[in-house]
Every structure is written in C-alpha cells, then in structure tokens.
Amino acid sequence: MRKPVLVILAAGMGSRYGGLKQMDPITDKGEIILDFSLYDAMLAGFNRVIFVIKEEMEALLYEHFGGQEQYMGFCFEYWSKKCELLSFCLFFSLF
C-alpha cells in the first residue's frame, strides 16, 4: 500500500504578517511552525512532503530541512511552478 503524500501550501506573501511566517523561529531552539507540522505528519504515517512555495523560499527551506530524507526520515520536494501547471502536475504525480 502506498503511503500518503503531504502537500504543504506555503507560497503566501505574508503581507499582513510582514515576512515569511513559515520560516520565522518560534522557539528558543530555532524551531519553525513547519517543524511541528512535520512532526505530526510523521506520527500520522507520512514520509513524503511536497512544499508548494515561491521560488525565493526554496533555498531557505532546503537550508532548514535539507534534501532527501535528512529530516525525520522525510523525502522532500520543492515545487514553485506556475499555478496553471501546478494542479495538472500535482494530480498526475500523486498517482
């Protein structure tokens, strides 16, 4: 049986917040909101994560989480495709 894929939509501008809230540390250890989301996803049985992001966020996420299976056993993909192509790509990549 195939495991589910977690798709995290994190391409927001953060205009009301005033920055990239997904990447701002929220604990003394430097943990970010996504760390807690991924921990819960790991407990639920996910092992593959697709981040849908703005291009400028890719380097920040890669720096924080690393590449392939370096963070809590997850395999990460970073997608920053145009919206009209994204739903097509997402639909066919999950099957």
Give the global pTM. Answer: 0.72
- Cα dihedral: 27, 7, 39, 46 (round 10): -170
Q: pLDDT per residue over 10-47, tens digit each?
A: 877 677 887 777 788 999 998 988 899 999 999 998 98
H/E/C letters for each residue in the chain?
Answer: CCCCEEEEEECCCCCCCCCCCCCCCCCCCCCCHHHHHHHHHHHCCCCEEEEEECHHHHHHHHHHHCCEEEECCEEEEEECCCHHHHHHHHHHHCC
Q: pLDDT per residue over 45-91, tens digit each?
A: 898 888 888 877 888 888 888 765 567 888 888 887 655 455 555 55
pLDDT at 6 over 60: yes
Give the model's pLDDT for residue 68: 54
